[in-house]
Structure 1
Amino acid sequence: MVVPFIELIENPQFFLVGWSLATFALALIISIYFLRDEIAAFFQSDQKNIGNIVLWSVLGSFLVIITQWVAVTIETFVFGIKPGSQNTMDLMNVARQAPIFIVIISVLGPILEELVFRKAIFGSLHKRMNFFFAALLSGVIFAAVHQDFSHLLIYTAMGMVFAFLYVETKRIIVPIIAHMAINTFAVIVQFSVDPEQIEQQLKQLEQLQLIITGGY
């Protein structure tokens, strides 16, 4: 069904989705334009190392998952931060209303974020400082942009892993694939589990946290 233009304007949800798709797509096109020589060189190369790219993408995805788990554990049991990302919940609420928004979460978003935060920001910082500080600083910026400051550790840690994948493989496509895989996995989990069940699991984790920390 085609949604009338007036409804797109009056409905904030439709307008948000349409505007987001347009801006992400435009930003991606601009980024690809500036990287056109590097992209052309990759496809013209006789040594693309596709197998190595696939291997590191898979390993990188698992590494990001492990890093997330460790960061969540530290936030929960050391800093007393409740699990569950408001940023993720907000995005998924939009995706449930307009499934096309998943394209941004799983495809456009990861590509653009890796080009900006790893290729541009981390790449520039790494020329001026060692890996750790460049990855840490770009990771903090990556976390801040998501505006989920209670989970700053998780986003920063993930950003540092993506930077590691970029440096280790010298291919920005590797952290892009890993990022896309993680986001797609999160979407599948969110869509396959009832929101009330997620809320119940979060409450159980909170109760476990209170038991372990003695209520502090």
Structure 2
Amino acid sequence: MNIRYWWILITYVLMQLSAIPGTLLLMQMEVPFERIPGIWSIISFSLGLIIILFLLVPDMRNRHQVRGRSTRGEAVRWSIIGIFMVFAAQYAAALIEMYALGIEPGSENTEAIVEMAKAFPAFIFVVAIIGPILEEIVFRLIIFGALYKRFNFWIAGFVSSFIFAAIHFDFTHLLVYTAMGFVFAYLYVKTGRILVPILAHVALNLFVAVVNVLLADQLEDWVERLEEVQQTSLIIGGLL
């Protein structure tokens, strides 16, 4: 692994660790505590992305020399297919957790992110765009890529996906995150373009953000109305 990739990993780690001094700094500035995680994430993730993209400039210039690189048309097709693949993998892993392992659905990590987004809506941009870009660069392009040069797909995919799962600190649902990581790794190997798993990852996170944050109140209203309609139907049915 070349030195630039090591610097990318260091940048990513420092970005994550910066939450502690960043929180203390914003507290000194008397920023409302519930908004601090979202505000600092915008700052740290944006800065981290800029530094990492700068370090990747040589890779961008030489991207056309990559063997097995798919055409643009194939990349678009696999980006769309990949969205359905990652949703299917997540659903299948959740079913295994629920019925085989007895793990209840629902992610504490997702709930925490949703609360942060509600307190500071701009945080959605980190969740849906910046975060997926950074994670695919770090876990697929660099970690998986380095392992794939030495091992087969399954070993490289498992190790990189397990690290990807662990970094979310939602250890109850390691299987779900690992399954997602495998799909992203497959899309990267299949197309030779890191942009493809990035698009699939962005689509997944954007869907979760929209449903759980932007449409949360509307969905709750729809559920209540549906329950009222069902109750009314039962009453009418009983009278008839």
TM-score normalised over the length of structure 2: 0.74
Which residue identity lines up with residue 161 of structure 1 in the other structure?
Answer: V
Matched, 1:193 2:193: no
Task: Give matches, 1:26-105, under 5 Å.
Answer: 26-42=47-63, 49-105=71-127
Matched, 1:175 2:166: no
RMSD: 2.4
User: Shift in Å at residue 8 of structure 1?
Assistant: 5.3
In structure 2, how many angstroms separate the alpha carbons of the residues matched to 1:120 and 1:84?
30
In structure 2, how many angstroms separate the alpha carbons of the residues matched to 1:94 and 1:44?
41
Paired residues of 1:8 and 1:15 also in contact (CA < 8 A): no
TM-score normalised over the length of structure 1: 0.82
In structure 2, how many angstroms separate the alpha carbons of the residues matched to 1:87 and 1:151?
10
- Structure 1 segments of 4 or more deviating over 6 A? none
**Are the structure 2 counterparts of residues 132 and 48 from structure 1 closer, same or farther at C-alpha, using a change threshold of 3 Å?**
closer
Unaligned regions of 5+ residues in structure 2, if any?
1-25, 224-240
Matched, 1:111 2:133: yes
**Are the structure 2 counterparts of residues 49 and 9 from structure 1 closer, same or farther at C-alpha, using a change threshold of 3 Å?**
farther
Which residue identity lines up with residue 101 of structure 1 in the other structure?
Answer: F
Which residue identity lines up with residue 19 of structure 1 in the other structure?
Answer: W
User: Shift in Å at residue 7 of structure 1?
Assistant: 8.5
In structure 1, how many angstroms separate the alpha carbons of the residues matched to 2:122 and 2:90?
26
1:166 pairs with 188, 207, 210, which one? 188
In structure 1, how many angstroms separate the alpha carbons of the residues matched to 2:147 and 2:64?
27
Unaligned regions of 5+ residues in structure 1, if any?
201-216
Identity across the alignment (%): 44
Structure with the greater alpha carbon radius of gyration: 2
